[in-house]
A and B are shown apart, each in its own frame.
Chain A
Amino acid sequence: GAVVSQHPSWVICKSGTSVKIECRSLDFQATTMFWYRQFPKQSLMLMATSNEGSKATYEQGVEKDKFLINHASLTLSTLTVTSAHPEDSSFYICSARDRLAGVIYEQYFGPGTRLTVT
């Protein structure tokens, strides 16, 4: 149980284009999903917290107009990198909490999306 999928697993795009990454909880419902970014040899950095049916909460320094997050259902959150630039090239990982987990705060991670902007 507790499987999270991401699509695509890798993407190469040209500078200035937009890329959408999907994160799905496959066997549980997630009112809260998280988006992280990880650069080589660095730790995961939280970008934003995505709440079903409401606006995402962005961490300091993350541009909300550049990284658009939509959490339209209990099993799907999307991250759109708009007008991507080479410095946006990174490993993007989502995670989700089970809505029914109560006080168990484990997060289950998707396999990640490797974005390369040329």
Chain B
Amino acid sequence: RKEVEQDPGPFNVPEGATVAFNCTYSNSASQSFFWYRQDCRKEPKLLMSVYSSGNEDGRFTAQLNRASQYISLLIRDSKLSDSATYLCVPDNYGQNFVFGPGTRLSVLP
């Protein structure tokens, strides 16, 4: 099983839609989880950190299910500017990050 698995997409959604991405991870000992977004030809930018069961920040909600080893990201009221690749990253005891392929989102006008 890969360390991090994400549906690569692309997810094409209209403006205003709600979209959710799932991410599964293999390291059951991971304690912290991060969602980064990466725009084309740019560096990843931290979107959200998750240390407990979930986190919410405005239109973005992350939910963690430790028993099933997956974490989701929900985006409500999608904006054109949300178009990016979303990367799910579980921590590895504060050591290196292992990035999955990410999920590509395109929000259409």
Contacts and interface: CB of A to CB of B under 8 A. Distances in A.
Interface of A: 34, 36, 42-46, 49, 59, 91, 93, 95, 97, 103-112, 114
29 contacts: A34-B96, A34-B97, A43-B87, A43-B99, A43-B100, A44-B44, A44-B87, A46-B96, A46-B97, A49-B96, A93-B43, A93-B44, A95-B97, A103-B31, A104-B32, A104-B49, A105-B32, A105-B91, A105-B94, A106-B34, A106-B46, A107-B46, A107-B97, A109-B43, A109-B44, A109-B45, A110-B43, A112-B42, A114-B41
- Interface of chain B, helix or strand or loop or mixed? loop
A27 to B, nearest CB: 15
Interface of B: 31-32, 34, 41-46, 49, 87, 91, 94-102
Given A105-B32, A106-B46, A91 B41 contact: yes
B97 A111 contact: no
A49 B99 CA distance: 15
B49 A106 contact: yes
